Structure 1
Amino acid sequence: MAMNGVSVFSDHICELGEGPSYDPATDTLFWFDIVNGKLLEKPLAGALKVHDLGVMASAIAVIDDDRQLIATEIGLQVRDVKTGKLTLHTPIEADNPLTRSNDSRVHPCGAFWTGTMGKGEEKGAGSIYWFFKGELRRLFSDITVSNSICFSQDGATAYYTDTATGFLMRVACDPATGLPTGEPKVFVDHRSSKGYVDGSVVDRDGVLWNAVWGGSAVKAYAPDGKLLREIAMPATQASCPAFIGQKADRMAVTSAWKGKDEMQRKLDPQAGMTFLLDIPVNGRFDPRVLIA
């Protein structure tokens, strides 16, 4: 059953569906079931493949036609597209078994912002890092749940949240490097709204599309932070959107059943599925990541 242009893209149930990323070269959506160490791959007009990674992973970026960069619980790993083999490229908190990777995205210049968090959402256990051409820097620490990492098309603005705070932040960036140039400011105060700020993407018009975890919704915010529209989702815990299709004019949205007991799951039967939002959006593709 479709609601408001929302239909099921994949009925594969993820405990923690996250990190959707579309590769226009292969017309394929990739996403993760983080806690179960799975990478999911589905061409828009093809069958689902599930890859067992053997490690918790949460985000993927294209390096070139043969390689992808994956954010995992031990750091950034290079994945060979043909064989699926993972090779550790840059360790991140690899010596800390309590943390794992979470929300991440490629800046327009090819830099990668990648977040960590405690596996049990321990307070302040996570950070957000900047990775560019082999260099790694910590940008923000004392983060409980890193999320909503995304950028304006010109690369001059970055967004992120610590979901636990209820504040979606924005910070000025150097378009050439993706490094912050100013102090973060509150973009949206979501504290009095239902649910939590989870993953986000920014379209060509500067509109930020945010998945609301626990709020059964995707919300769209204008560049000034004003709420433009809210789209009801068929799963309570929507987790992250991605622009898909050859024109980037639609969205896929992941979801999760994590934290729900049997009765709650019965009331939320599509929790963990991945959805297609067939509403007109002026989306854009994530750039390739520069690892060297």
Structure 2
Amino acid sequence: MIFDDRICALGEGPLWHPLRQQLFWFDIIGQRLLTRIGDGPEEWHFTEMVSAAGWITRDELLIASETALFRFNLETGVQTHLIALEADNPKTRSNDGRSDPQGGFWIGTMGKVEGPGTPAMGAIYRYYRGELRKLFAPIAIPNSISFPPGGQSACFTDTVTGRVLRVTLDADGWPKGQPETFLDLTALGLHPDGAVFDADGIFWGAQWGASRVAAYAPDGTFLRAVPFDAPHTSCPAFGGDTLYCTTALHNMDAAARAKHPNAGKTFMAKGIAQGQPEHQVTL
């Protein structure tokens, strides 16, 4: 089912705000944040690409852009700079991000020209109580930043590798030890994109080019897939038991766009699983 029919060149970063009971998401290339209030669409436009967010209060989001993390007031539109994010590198931008159970915010960066061996590679960072620390690098296309219940581990991927990794976290939410493979999708030719864990610890991952979000048990066993009518599913989010998913037109030629007229729209599927409440960012 289509949740919103506005077409995003590169839909990403869906966030279900637990206080507002409202979905927010991004069109990275279109430099905009989108939502719906009741039956009506609403959006905000920015001067550079924006890609992911966490909620701070009912009215404020933390937003990741090409060059910074900033606070954004949904009622007034006021932006407040928090910290630079690879601001000295015009070849990179932010991509996938999500808040962790300890109140930190993880954010990945990548080259504006995608893929391995490109002029710019990215990294995965964590912002926590005023500190931005680089966690993992180099990363070509950071995705699947997600946290199972309990706050003891985190998952992430470099999409081009086809593997989702899992790393143990300490009490403050910082990684300890080396990441290990949680899912290896290389033999299937699948490309892991954005992901989220539900309240039962099931991993739900969008798979770029596969028109679906797939569910995996804590031991990595495939459970089921939810199909959506767009090839490039980019990131899921849960609002209660409803699964939302952003999609993209990115890298589709005219023939592919004609074949898939719903590509780039944002989808929903009701009664899928019970999501975790999205974690609040602690500044």
Aligned mates of 2:282, 2:178 — CA distance in 1:
25
The answer to whether the 8 A contact 1:59-1:103 is kept is: yes
Q: Indicate the SS of the match to 2:215.
A: strand
**2:182 is the alignment partner of 1:187:** yes
**2:40 is the alignment partner of 1:47:** yes
The answer to whether the 8 A contact 2:18-2:278 is kept is: no
**TM-fit CA distance, 1:194:** 4.2
Indicate the residue corresponding to 1:262 in structure 2.
254
**2:5 is the alignment partner of 1:11:** yes
Match 1:98 to one of 91, 96, 101: 91
Normalised to the residue count of structure 2, the TM-score between the two structures is: 0.96
For 1:109-188, list aligned pairs within 5 A: 109-123=102-116, 125-174=121-170, 176-188=171-183
**Residue 275 of structure 1 aligns to which amino acid in structure 2?**
F
Match 2:79 to one of 83, 86, 93: 86
Aligned mates of 1:221, 1:66 — CA distance in 2:
34
**TM-fit CA distance, 1:79:** 0.6
**TM-fit CA distance, 1:195:** 3.6
**Residue 263 of structure 2 aligns to which amino acid in structure 1?**
A
**TM-fit CA distance, 1:181:** 1.4
**Residue 8 of structure 1 aligns to which amino acid in structure 2?**
I
Aligned mates of 2:46, 2:208 — CA distance in 1:
25
Note the alpha carbon deviations across 1:102-157, whole angstroms, 9 max, x for none: 00110001011110000111536100001101011100011000000000110101
**2:231 is the alignment partner of 1:236:** yes
Q: Indicate the SS of the match to 1:115.
A: strand
Q: Indicate the SS of the match to 2:160.
A: helix
Note the alpha carbon deviations across 1:210-250, whole angstroms, 9 max, x for none: 01110111100000011011122210000000011xxx111
Aligned residues: 280
**TM-fit CA distance, 1:65:** 2.5
Aligned mates of 2:153, 2:218 — CA distance in 1:
10
The answer to whether the 8 A contact 2:115-2:160 is kept is: no
Q: Indicate the SS of the match to 1:65.
A: coil
Aligned mates of 2:78, 2:253 — CA distance in 1:
35
Match 2:270 to one of 267, 270, 278: 278
Q: Indicate the SS of the match to 1:164.
A: helix
Note the alpha carbon deviations across 1:160-194, whole angstroms, 9 max, x for none: 000011111111112x3111112101111111224
Indicate the residue corresponding to 2:32 in structure 1.
38
Match 1:215 to one of 204, 210, 223: 210
Q: Indicate the SS of the match to 1:64.
A: coil
**TM-fit CA distance, 1:280:** 2.9
Aligned mates of 1:22, 1:282 — CA distance in 2:
13
Match 1:68 to one of 58, 61, 82: 61
RMSD: 1.2
Aligned mates of 2:189, 2:15 — CA distance in 1:
26
Q: Indicate the SS of the match to 1:192.
A: helix
**TM-fit CA distance, 1:263:** 1.0
Q: Give the gaps of 5 or more residues in structure 2.
A: none
**TM-fit CA distance, 1:82:** 1.6
Indicate the residue corresponding to 2:23 in structure 1.
29
**Residue 238 of structure 2 aligns to which amino acid in structure 1?**
F
The answer to whether the 8 A contact 1:168-1:197 is kept is: yes
The answer to whether the 8 A contact 1:130-1:137 is kept is: yes
**TM-fit CA distance, 1:268:** 1.1
Aligned mates of 1:234, 1:66 — CA distance in 2:
32
Aligned mates of 1:274, 1:193 — CA distance in 2:
26
Aligned mates of 1:140, 1:233 — CA distance in 2:
31
**TM-fit CA distance, 1:42:** 1.3
Aligned mates of 1:288, 1:32 — CA distance in 2:
19
Most deviating of 252-261 and 190-199: 190-199
Aligned mates of 1:149, 1:46 — CA distance in 2:
30
